[in-house]
Chain A
Amino acid sequence: MTSKVEWLRRTLLATSLAFFVTDPVLAESPVLPDTVPAEFKVTDFLLDNGMEVVVIPDHRAPIVTQMVWYKIGSADETPGKSGIAHFFEHLMFKATAHHAAGEFDRAVSDIGGSNNAFTSYDYTAFHETVAPSALELMMSFEADRMRNLILTDEVIKTERDVILEERRSRIDNNPQAVLDEEVDATLWQNQPYRIPVIGWMQEMEQLNRTDATAFYNTYYRPNNAVLIVAGDIEPDTVRALAEKTYGKVARGPDLPPRVRPVEPEQNTRRTVTLSDARVSVPNFSTQWVVPSYHTAKPGEAEALDLLAEILGGGNRSRLYQALVVKQGIASNAGAYFQGTMLDDTNFTVYGAPRGDAKLADIEAAVDAEVALIASDGVTPGELEKAKDRYVRSMVFARDKQDSMANIYGATLATGGNVQDVQQWPDRIRKVTPGEVKAVAARYLVLARATTGYLLPQQQAGN
């Protein structure tokens, strides 16, 4: 049973398939006696056409993962064209001037490789895991589709039906996802994170070849891309292969800086409620706008990460211990912070009642813990424990090739660099109890919070 923490997390985060990238967990540890061995040293360089390259050697298995991250996500979309970034990710698997539709997929499966792609607010990434001997072939396919895609109306129509089905499956069939979407649209009044990555249904239905072509020509350029290669390969080899493949793609026009609308000051308490017959146990989540690693003043995002861990990061956290263990009123309660974002991000607390407890009791108890940490701060002991957990999770992360690739990719696509990842444990170590208290007091103010309630049908109007 993984249910204790995971169950409610799944319930609350039903729409977020893959949170792995936002886990702020990985880099080298300066405190552990084993420093990262030389063969794991990360190398980064730039191709002449502006494409960034990061190589993460890992020679334990004859496997290599390449990921191409484009610095384009749903938050970069033109108003009225929501969903185009994700739709375009799907279209990248269609025919090119040199390869028929499905040829790339077949080339991957013929060698027992795996491939896929994903889209988020700030980036879109494509990846393949194969034997090192096939890396050049993968790079040539990936470089080819960066510029040579052929889009027909027929292809657009069929694939658009697929993304509409994806939306129904992820959002429309799921009351928690429907609520989460509208909570986001309420928390964010101006910043594009208010729009769902998958898009609004009526806008998705209208996406067309003209939109797709314009999007492709603007963003799918080597100077807007980061190549991450992790696995059984040497940096010199990666450089030679990358120059031979991606290096042949002409540099595109310079992209304008990613300056998006930002949030005005929030002066209200906002609530969003969904009652649905499919819901039997209510839950709530409260969110605040907070800085991300990219927008924060030095040390603030690290302090927010530690605040989330101490307040609600697992079954040793304050919320879990107070509400689930000691008071016995909640089936779960916790907090999280999504720091790896280009613009300001959100800090969230959540909970659900158990037994006879009422949702209002849970919410009041969560609010009380938040208020306590903002007024009295954290103890040096609990802060050290939280730091230890983060730093050691990085050691565990080195055990999995693609988790390191994801960390570097997400960081570089959201305005960070290789050093930011590597120095992260150092920066975590430097955070003081006073800094954690300060971010709690500054940001977790109830009068400027947005709360979503998921309620059973009979509680409608309560």
Chain B
Amino acid sequence: MMYMREAAKAPYLLPQGEKVRSRVAVPLATLFLSVLFLILPALAARAMEIQSVTSSKGITAWLVEDYSVPVVSIRFVFGGGSTQDPPGKEGVANLMTGLFDEGAGPLDSEAFQIKLDDAGAEMSFEESRDGIYGSMRMLAEQRDEAFDLLRLAVNEPRFDQPPIDRIRAQVLSGIIANENDPDTVAQNRWARAVYGDHPYSRSDQGTRQSIAAITQDDLRALHKAVFARGGLHVAVVGAIDAETLKKKLDMVFGDLPQSQALAPVADIEPKLAQHVEVNYDLPQTSLQLAWPGVKRNAADFFPAVLMNEILGGGTFTSRLFQEVREKRGLAYSVNSSLVNQDHADALIVTTGTRSDRAAETLGIVRDVAKRLAEEGPTEAELAATKKYLIGAYAINNLDSSNSIAATLVELQLDDLGIDYMQRRAGYINAVTLDQVKAAAKKLLTAEPTIMVVGPPLAGAGKG
């Protein structure tokens, strides 16, 4: 059992503003279009080289070639995640991601898993609202066997009835287990309050009724609609060269259909100015607040990122950390994050505080936000935060092959360009104090949606 000074509490919403996390690799000779840059402008510089590799069947992957550890990591995404669950069949995408190692091609569940274990590879799939992600980490010397199993999983998942029933029963068990869990109940209430009828309001896992209704045909239909070259982004890191990778790309992805057949998903503005109380007799009250967010491709994205960091980002020096925890001891954890999804954006603050002082804590959080909206940050805060955001990128996003691969997939999804890491510090340095003030005013003057999970909040309604 281990206790940390501070552990970020998983927020109810998904990825961080710049949704990348992850290490660097040493460059090798490259044969293709490649961009050479310094990823750590603030640090002693060493180049990480990202090659853009395109196979003969037209599959493109970003590759960081590195032989210092005999491991290859691949990560990929198909756009269209649980938002593609048909109405009444919520949970299909989640269920599907549990079935890729449960039989593919000529191999049934047992045979597939034995081969995967023999190959010494780890394979995993997971869904988000906007995409279905796959990852595989393999030993370089057994990469042929591993890629072959990945080919089967991606192209020919069997969706046999016994594994469907078994995994469904596990998911159902999870749904039932959380039915009276305050955090889960609250999360569902929150999603409905903020997103109304939009697909983002639905649970990824589905409901008792919806997962009972899912058939093999539903799984096949979703696989066919989503697993196509048109919505695919791939990143590979480790002990493999571009020529070899091209062949593997063709093998794994080259025979997929060209185009996805996705149901359209509308953009939605999270609904603000609501007060949601989920009352339980708990010693600690959770508070969650939502303000408007900013789109990833908006002109004021980086001003908003800097503002969020100053408000309650990933350091121990943020205003919320100082005011709520350091000065008053009201909470262990208090964070803010900019959430960017394909169809919605928000700024979310979460904290947990002793129930008899929850109203006071809420008041302080709102006060900190109000002051930042009215006065903006200081020049010194902004300068320090710029240095932090520039330097922290590599440490947070590039600290292992897996995290480099994950970062490169997100950069592709956000269409930021293969030289983004080289340009990023420039974007941050170009932000002015007035722009951050404007972002604070724009986002934080709105009336937030507030959720209280705990005993009734005495003396603090909508403020």
Q: Do A and B bind each other?
A: yes
List CB contacts (< 8 Å) of B351-371 with chain A. 352-354
Question: Given A61-B394, A354-B170 in contact, is the A396-B137 Cβ separation under 8 Å?
Answer: yes
Interface presence of B378 (CB below 8 A): no
Decide if A61 touches B24 in the complex (CB within 8 Å): yes
Interface presence of A47 (CB below 8 A): no
Min Cβ gap B249→A in Å is 22
Stretch at the interface among A126-134, A295-303, A364-372: A126-134
Decide if B170 touches A324 in the complex (CB within 8 Å): yes
Interface string of A164-178 (1 = CB under 8 A from B): 111011101100000
Interface presence of B329 (CB below 8 A): yes
Interface presence of A119 (CB below 8 A): yes
Question: Given A106-B384, A170-B3, A325-B166 in contact, is the A281-B173 Cβ separation under 8 Å?
Answer: yes
Min Cβ gap B338→A in Å is 18
Min Cβ gap B360→A in Å is 12
Q: Which of A21, A63, A168, A197 contacts B395 (CB 8 A)?
A: A63
List CB contacts (< 8 Å) of A124-173 with chain B. 129-133, 157-166, 168-170, 172-173
Interface presence of A322 (CB below 8 A): no
Question: Given A11-B177, A63-B43, A197-B2 in contact, is the A106-B170 Cβ separation under 8 Å?
Answer: no
Interface presence of B236 (CB below 8 A): no
Decide if B46 touches A61 in the complex (CB within 8 Å): yes
Question: Given A161-B330, A197-B1, A396-B137 in contact, is the A172-B26 Cβ separation under 8 Å?
Answer: no
Interface presence of B95 (CB below 8 A): yes
Min Cβ gap B54→A in Å is 26
Decide if B399 touches A395 in the complex (CB within 8 Å): no
Kindly state the separation between the CA atoms of A389 and B120 in the bound complex, as whole angstroms: 7
Interface presence of A79 (CB below 8 A): no
List CB contacts (< 8 Å) of A216-249 with chain B. none
Min Cβ gap B159→A in Å is 14
Decide if A34 touches B70 in the complex (CB within 8 Å): yes
Min Cβ gap A397→B in Å is 9
Residues of A contacting B117 with CB < 8 Å? 316, 385, 389
Decide if A162 touches B332 in the complex (CB within 8 Å): yes
Question: Given A60-B26, A106-B384, A170-B3 in contact, is the A402-B399 Cβ separation under 8 Å?
Answer: yes
Q: Which of B2, B113, B332 contacts A18 (CB 8 A)?
A: B2
Decide if B389 touches A112 in the complex (CB within 8 Å): yes
Decide if A62 touches B45 in the complex (CB within 8 Å): yes
Decide if A158 touches B329 in the complex (CB within 8 Å): yes
Decide if B42 touches A158 in the complex (CB within 8 Å): no
Residues of B contacting A281 with CB < 8 Å? 173, 176-177
Kindly state the separation between the CA atoms of A102 and B321 in the bound complex, as whole angstroms: 11
Interface presence of B246 (CB below 8 A): no
Interface presence of B32 (CB below 8 A): no
Residues of B contacting A61 with CB < 8 Å? 23-25, 40, 46, 394, 398-399
Q: Which of B6, B70, B176, B394 contacts A395 (CB 8 A)?
A: B70
Decide if B170 touches A109 in the complex (CB within 8 Å): no
- Please, which residue of chain B has its CB at the minimum distance from the CB of A117? B5
Stretch at the interface among B147-155, B179-187, B438-446: B179-187
Question: Given A33-B141, A131-B44, A278-B182 in contact, is the A106-B317 Cβ separation under 8 Å?
Answer: yes
Min Cβ gap A377→B in Å is 21
Interface presence of A208 (CB below 8 A): no
Decide if A172 touches B170 in the complex (CB within 8 Å): no
Interface presence of B316 (CB below 8 A): yes
Decide if A16 touches B43 in the complex (CB within 8 Å): no
List CB contacts (< 8 Å) of A88-114 with chain B. 89-90, 93, 101-102, 105-106, 108-114
Interface presence of B416 (CB below 8 A): no
Residues of A contacting B171 with CB < 8 Å? 1, 3
Stretch at the interface among B124-132, B221-229, B406-414: B124-132
Interface presence of B68 (CB below 8 A): yes
Main secondary structure of the interface of B (DSSP, over half): mixed
Decide if B180 touches A172 in the complex (CB within 8 Å): no
Interface presence of B390 (CB below 8 A): yes
List CB contacts (< 8 Å) of A26-80 with chain B. 32-34, 37, 58-63
Q: Which of B23, B71, B280 contacts A63 (CB 8 A)?
A: B23
Interface presence of B326 (CB below 8 A): yes
Interface string of A1-23 (1 = CB under 8 A from B): 11110010001000111110100
Kindly state the separation between the CA atoms of A333 and B428 in the bound complex, as whole angstroms: 48
Kindly state the separation between the CA atoms of A315 and B45 in the bound complex, as whole angstroms: 43
Interface presence of B28 (CB below 8 A): no
Decide if B6 touches A116 in the complex (CB within 8 Å): yes
Question: Given A2-B124, A172-B283, A196-B1 in contact, is the A114-B170 Cβ separation under 8 Å?
Answer: no
Interface string of B309-322 (1 = CB under 8 A from A): 00000111100001
Interface presence of A287 (CB below 8 A): no
Residues of B contacting A129 with CB < 8 Å? 395, 399
Interface presence of B201 (CB below 8 A): no
Interface presence of A426 (CB below 8 A): no
Decide if A110 touches B388 in the complex (CB within 8 Å): yes
Kindly state the separation between the CA atoms of A453 and B169 in the bound complex, as whole angstroms: 21
Residues of A contacting B69 with CB < 8 Å? 60, 395, 398-399
Decide if B3 touches A62 in the complex (CB within 8 Å): no
Question: Given A173-B282, A388-B120 in contact, is the A17-B4 Cβ separation under 8 Å?
Answer: yes
Residues of B contacting A449 with CB < 8 Å? none
Q: Which of B170, B280, B329 contacts A4 (CB 8 A)?
A: B170
Decide if A399 touches B283 in the complex (CB within 8 Å): no
Residues of B contacting A290 with CB < 8 Å? none
Interface presence of B252 (CB below 8 A): no
Interface presence of A277 (CB below 8 A): yes
Interface string of B385-399 (1 = CB under 8 A from A): 001111111111011
Residues of B contacting A450 with CB < 8 Å? none
Min Cβ gap A394→B in Å is 11
A-B contact sample (5 more), CB < 8 A, given A1-B97, A62-B46: A37-B68, A110-B388, A111-B42, A133-B43, A280-B180
Show the binding face of B for A, using Cβ within 8 Å.
Answer: 1-7, 9, 23-26, 40, 42-46, 66, 68-71, 73, 94-95, 97-98, 109, 113-114, 117, 120, 122, 124-127, 137, 139, 141, 166-167, 169-174, 176-182, 280, 282-284, 314-317, 322, 325-333, 352-354, 384, 387-396, 398-402
Q: Closest 9 CB pairs between A and B?
A: A112-B391, A161-B329, A61-B24, A331-B173, A131-B43, A281-B177, A168-B284, A166-B332, A112-B392
Show the binding face of A for B, using Cβ within 8 Å.
Answer: 1-4, 7, 11, 15-19, 21, 32-34, 37, 58-63, 86, 89-90, 93, 101-102, 105-106, 108-121, 129-133, 157-166, 168-170, 172-173, 196-198, 277-281, 315-316, 324-325, 328, 331-332, 352-355, 385, 388-389, 392, 395-396, 398-402, 456
What are 28 A-B interface contacts by the 8 Å CB criterion?
A: A1-B95, A2-B124, A3-B171, A17-B2, A21-B2, A34-B70, A61-B399, A89-B5, A105-B317, A106-B384, A112-B42, A112-B43, A112-B388, A113-B395, A119-B4, A131-B44, A158-B329, A160-B329, A165-B284, A170-B3, A278-B280, A324-B170, A325-B166, A352-B177, A389-B117, A396-B137, A399-B23, A400-B400
